Chains A and B, each alone.
Chain A
Amino acid sequence: MLRKILAAGLALAVLTGACFASGSAESSGGSVSDAIAAAENMTLEELEAAAKAEFEAAGLQFTAKGSTSGVKNVLAGFKEKYPWFSYTDFSSSKDQALYTELTTAIGQNQYVADAVLIQDGSSLQSMLIDTEYMLNYVPNSVELPEADSNPLSVLYVNKCFLWNKTNPEYGPDYVTNVWQLTGADGKDLKGVHQLSFQTPATENVNMNFLIMLTSDAACEKLSAAYESYFGEPYAGGDGYENIGYKFVTELMGNVTTWHSSDTTAVKNMATMTTGQIVYAPLNKIKDYPETNDYHNDLAITGWNVPLEGFTSYFYKMWLMIPKTAKLPYTACLFIEYMCSPEGFRSGWDSEGYYSVNPEVPVLEGDHTLAEWLDGAIVEDIGYINSVYREASTYIRSLVM
Chain B
Amino acid sequence: MSGSNKKSHLLNNIRSAASKPANVITVLFFVILLFTVCFPLLSLLRDAFTVHFGEIRDIGKPVGAFTFYHWQTLLFDNLYDYSVLTFWKPLVNSVLMAIVSCIVAVGFGGAVAWFITRSDIPGKKFLSTIFVFPYIMPSWSIAMFWENFFKNTQIVACYNQMGMLESFTGICVPEWVLYGFFPCAMCLGIHYAPFAYLLIGGILRNMDANLEEAATVLKASRFKILRRITLPIVTPALISTILLVFSSSLSSYTVPAFLNKNGSFSTISTTMRSLFNTAAMQGQGFVVAIVLLVFSIIILSINNKMTGKRKSFTTISGKSGQVSLVKLGKARMPITIVIMVISVFFAIVPLVSFALESLLEVPGDYSTLSLYYWTTTDTLENRVFGSSQGILRNPTIWKALGNSLLVSFMVALISGTAGILIGYASARKRGSRLARWVSNMAFFPYLIPAMSFGAVYLSVSYLPAFSFLHGTVFLLIIVGGIKFLPFASKSGANAMMQVSGEIEEAAFIIGVPWWKRMAKILFPIQKASFISGYLLPFISCMRELSLFVLLAAPGSIITVVLQDFEVNGLTQISNGINFLIIMIVLLVQFITNKLTGASIDKGIGG
Please, which residues of chain B bring their CB within 8 A of the CB of A22? 64
Contact mask for chain B residues 48-69; partner A; CB cutoff 8 A; 1 contact, 0 none: 0000011111100001100000
Chain A contacts for B383, CB-based, 8 A: 69-70, 72-73, 92
**Chain A residues numbered 188-202 whose CB sits less than 8 Å from any CB in chain B:** 193-194, 196, 199, 201-202
Indicate if the CB atoms of B274 and A202 lie closer than 8 Å: yes
Contact of A19 among B46, B277, B434 (CB under 8 A): B46
Min C-beta distance of B120 to chain A, whole Å:
46
13 A-B contact pairs sorted by A residue (CB < 8 Å): A19-B42, A20-B46, A89-B385, A92-B383, A104-B455, A123-B54, A201-B274, A202-B274, A257-B159, A258-B260, A263-B567, A272-B160, A272-B161
Complex interface: stretch among A40-48, A145-153, A229-237, A387-395: A387-395
**A265, closest chain B residue (CB):** B159
- Residue of B280, B462, B555 contacting most chain A CB atoms (<10 Å): B462
Nearest CB of chain A from residue B140's CB, rounded to whole Å: 11
Nearest CB in chain B to that of A120: its residue = B279
Question: Which of A125-133, A172-180, A329-337 touches B?
Answer: A125-133
Q: Complex formed: what's the CA distance from A202 to B278 in Å?
A: 7
B263 close to A (CB within 8 Å):
yes
For B85, give the chain A residue with the smallest CB separation.
Answer: A400
In the complex the two chains form, is B35's CB within 8 Å of A15's CB? yes
In the A-B complex, the 4 residue pairs with the closest CB atoms: A91-B554, A69-B383, A287-B569, A91-B385
What's the minimum C-beta distance from B466 to chain A, rounded to whole angstroms? 10
- Do B550 and A101 touch (CB < 8 A)? yes
In contact, A270 and B362 (Cβ under 8 angstroms): yes
Cβ-defined contact, A257 with B89, below 8 A: no
CB of B168 closer than 8 Å to a CB of A? no
Contact A267 B462 (CB under 8 A): no
A69-B568, A268-B363, A276-B159 are contacts. A396–B262 as well, Cβ < 8 Å? no
CB <8 Å contact, B361 and A103: no
Which A residues form the contact surface with B (CB < 8 A)? 4, 11-12, 15-16, 18-20, 22-23, 25, 69-70, 72-73, 89-92, 94-97, 99-101, 103-105, 107-108, 110, 120, 122-123, 126-128, 130-131, 193-194, 196, 199, 201-202, 204, 207, 255-261, 263-264, 267-268, 270-272, 274, 276, 284, 286-287, 289, 291-292, 385, 388-390, 392-394, 396-397, 399-400
Kindly state whether residue B510 has any CB partner on chain A within 8 Å: no
CA distance A12 to B560 in the complex (A): 35
A202 contacts B273, C-beta separation under 8 Å: yes
A271 touches B434 (CB 8 A): no
By a CB distance below 8 angstroms, the chain B residues around A261 are: 566-567
Query: What residue of chain B has the Cβ atom nearest to residue A124's Cβ?
Result: B279
B225 at the interface (CB under 8 A from A): no
Q: Which of A25, A126, A274, A276 contacts B57 (CB 8 A)?
A: A126
The CA-CA distance from A56 to B564 in the complex, in Å, is: 32
Q: How far is the CA of A134 from the CA of B385 in the complex (A)?
A: 25
Interface stretch, picked from B74-82, B338-346, B516-524, is: B74-82
Tell yes or no: B258 within 8 A of A by CB. yes
Chain A residues with Cβ below 8 Å from B64 are 20, 22
Apart from A69-B567, A130-B57, A260-B258, 5 more pairs, CB < 8 Å: A91-B384, A258-B262, A261-B567, A392-B278, A393-B79
Q: Is A194's CB under 8 angstroms from B363's CB?
A: no
Judged by a CB distance under 8 angstroms, whether B463 is at the interface is: yes
Q: Is the CB of A105 within 8 A of B462?
A: yes
Q: Produce 1/0 per residue, B554-584, CB < 8 A to A.
A: 1100001000101111010000000000000
User: Known contacts A89-B386, A91-B385; is A400 also within 8 Å of B368 by CB?
Assistant: no
Q: Is the CB of B279 within 8 A of A73?
A: no
Tell whether A4 pairs with B434 under 8 Å between CB atoms, given A69-B384, A72-B382. Answer: yes
Q: A130 — which chain B residues lie within 8 A by C-beta?
A: 56-57
Min CB–CB distance A235 → chain B (angstroms): 23
What's the nearest-Cβ distance from chain A to residue B104, in Å?
Answer: 24
Do B280 and A126 touch (CB < 8 A)?
A: yes
Measured CB to CB, the nearest residue on chain B to A386 is B57
Task: Give the number of chain B interface residues (Cβ < 8 Å).
Answer: 77
Nearest residue in B to A292 (C-beta to C-beta)?
B362
- The answer on a CB contact under 8 Å between A196 and B159 is yes
Asked if B271 lies at the interface with its beta carbon under 8 angstroms from chain A, I say yes
In this complex, the member of B31, B63, B156 whose beta carbon has the largest number of chain A beta carbons within 10 angstroms is B156
Residue among B31, B63, B362 with most chain A CB within 10 A: B362
Q: What distance in Å separates the Cβ of B4 from its nearest Cβ neighbour in chain A?
A: 19
Contact A15 B56 (CB under 8 A): no
Q: What sequence of 0s and 1s flags, for each residue 401-433 of chain B, a beta carbon within 8 Å of any chain A beta carbon? A: 000000000000000000000000000000000
Interface of B is mostly: helix
Q: How far does the Cβ of A19 sit from chain B's closest Cβ, in whole Å? A: 5
Residues of chain B in range 448-475 having any CB-CB distance to chain A below 8 Å = 455, 458-459, 462-464, 467
Please indicate the chain A residues that have their CB under 8 angstroms from the CB of B462 in the complex.
23, 104-105, 108, 110
B597 sits at the interface (CB 8 A): no
- Residues of A with C-beta under 8 A to B35: 15
- What distance in Å separates the Cβ of A191 from its nearest Cβ neighbour in chain B? 14
Q: Who on chain A is nearest to B368 by CB?
A: A291
Q: Which of A11, A73, A91, A108 contacts B555 (CB 8 A)?
A: A91
Q: Is B364 an interface residue (CB 8 A)?
A: yes
Contact of B277 among A204, A270, A274, A284 (CB under 8 A): A204
Q: Across the interface, which residues of B come within 8 angstroms of A11, CB to CB?
A: 31, 34
**Which of B263, B385, B386, B550 contacts A258 (CB under 8 A)?**
B263
Chain B residue, CB-CB nearest to A131: B53
| B276 interfacial by beta-carbon distance below 8 Å | yes
- List A contacts of B365 (CB < 8 A): 270-271
Across-interface contacts of A91 in B (CB, < 8 A): 384-385, 554-555, 560, 564
CB neighbours (8 Å) of B56 from chain A are 126, 130
Tell me, rounded to whole Å, the shortest Cβ–Cβ distance linking B281 to chain A: 8
Inter-chain contact B261/A385, CB cutoff 8 Å: no
Contact B385 A257 (CB under 8 A): no
Chain B residues, Cβ within 8 Å of A72? 382-383, 385
Closest chain A residue to B258, Cβ basis? A260
Q: Which residues of B contact A284 (CB under 8 A)?
A: 569
Give the docked Cα–Cα distance between A271 and B161 (Å).
8
Q: Which residue of A lies closest to B162 (CB)?
A: A271
- Asked whether any CB of chain A lies closer than 8 Å to the CB of B375, the reply is no
**Contact A256/B90 with A204-B277, A396-B82 known, Cβ cut-off 8 Å:** no
Q: Are A263 and B569 in contact (CB under 8 A)?
A: yes
Known contacts A15-B39, A126-B57, A126-B280; decide if A90 and B34 are in contact (CB<8 Å).
no
Bound state CA distance, A18 and B157, in angstroms?
49
